[in-house]
Every structure is written in structure tokens, then in C-alpha cells.
A and B are shown apart, each in its own frame.
Chain A
Amino acid sequence: EAQVTQNPRYLITVTGKKLTVTCSQNMNHEYMSWYRQDPGLGLRQIYYSMNVEVTDKGDVPEGYKVSRKEKRNFPLILESPSPNQTSLYFCASSLSGADSYNEQFFGPGTRLTVL
């Protein structure tokens, strides 16, 4: 089954404790992206990757890191989480960011709480 998976689905942590949220897709997509969703602010793009070893900042990259060492995986790293990073996080992928057939597929989401 073609899908985007995220782990963990739920995470409660404390300020300053490094964490990684994994994202994996099995569709051989080139483009992957991370979003956060907050009430009243909607979905905002954090980082995206056009291909392996190619990443770029979205609208709200502060406090986050990403890496793209393999095509299928795009982990989101919070080196020192803070309470304002409490949010619902989504990973998405599509065939190509520069293609007009660029339909995005989303993972199920990761609900992160930073105390």
C-alpha cells in the first residue's frame, strides 16, 4: 500500500530534550515536506526537500532541522524543543516539486507536546 508513515504518532517530552520524528514514504517520491498545524494558524511549511541531500527552509524553520540521506526518509529533528513547538506535525511527499502533477500525500500526523 502506497503511504507516508510517521513515528511516533504521539509524543510528550520536556523542554530541551532532543527528539526526532521520523517520516518514510514508499512511493519513490522525490519531494518531501514537513508542516505544523496550529489552531488559528493553519498548516505552515517547516522544511522541504526536492531530492536526496537537497533541503530548504519553509515558512517556519526556526528550531527545527531536517536531513535527507535517503530518498524514502525525511526525519524532523528538534535539537532543543520548547513549549511553543507543541503542535500537530505532518509529513508529506509528492513525485516532484517542480511538476504540475505534484499531488501531495500526507502522513497521519504526530501530536507533540513539549512541557
Chain B
Amino acid sequence: KQEVTQIPAALSVPEGENLVLNCSFTDSAIYNLQWFRQDPGKGLTSLLLIQSSQREQTSGRLNASLDKSSGRSTLYIAASQPGDSATYLCAVEDNYGQNFVFGPGTRLSVLP
């Protein structure tokens, strides 16, 4: 059964720092991996989707990488801002393209 973990569970950084969030999964047979942002009391907003054949995706200050063979993905946030404060979740879609498994999330606080 697929399991997804995220490290660290929480992170607090001063504004302007570059930071890395980690996501690990136990079964490398995935279709894709998706990073989300969740603000308190709100729904999930899709940030980046990496297909299983890709190594990375970029959107603005965000860069996500995928190493399927080692079961890892990282989300890199450049020049962090207070508005980046949120919980970041990664999710993998299994190889049958039917089931999605989420990690527990990393709660990020960017201090002004």
C-alpha cells in the first residue's frame, strides 16, 4: 500500500530565504505527483504537477523535482514571502490512475 511522508512537519523561516520541502513515497509505480497549497480553513490549490516521465516542473518562484526510482520529490521555494505561509501537501496518483494518496503536509510560516 502506498504511503507518503513529508519532512519537515513544520518550518518557520525569515522572509527572503530559499527553502526546500520534502516528500517521500514508498511505491515508485506512480502516474504523477502533485503539490498543493492549503490555507487555514480553505480548500487545496494546485501548485505543480509532475508527470511520472518528468524530472521537474517550474512555476514562478516554485520548482518541484521528482526522482521516481528513489521515491522522492522536493518543492523548492525561492525568495520566500509572508504570503507563502500555508500548509504544503504532496499527493501521488497510483499506477492504475485511480487512487490518490496524500502526505500529511508541511506547515510553513514565513516571518516578515
Contact = CB atoms under 8 A, between A and B. Distances in A.
A107 B97 contact: no
Chain B interface helix/strand/loop/mixed: strand
Contact of B46 (A43, A56, A103): A103
A26 to B, nearest CB: 16
Contacts, number: 68
B105 A103 contact: no
Interface residues of B, number: 27
Interface residues of A, number: 29
* Central interface residue in A40, A92, A97, A105, by most chain B CB within 10 Å: A97
Interface of B: 31-32, 34, 36, 41-46, 49, 51-53, 89, 91, 93, 96-105
Contact of B34 (A48, A97, A104): A104
Interface in A48-63: 48, 50, 56, 58-59
9 closest Cβ pairs, A-B complex: A98-B97, A43-B102, A106-B44, A100-B51, A42-B104, A106-B43, A108-B43, A97-B97, A103-B49
Interface in A32-88: 33, 35, 40-45, 48, 50, 56, 58-59
B43 A100 contact: no
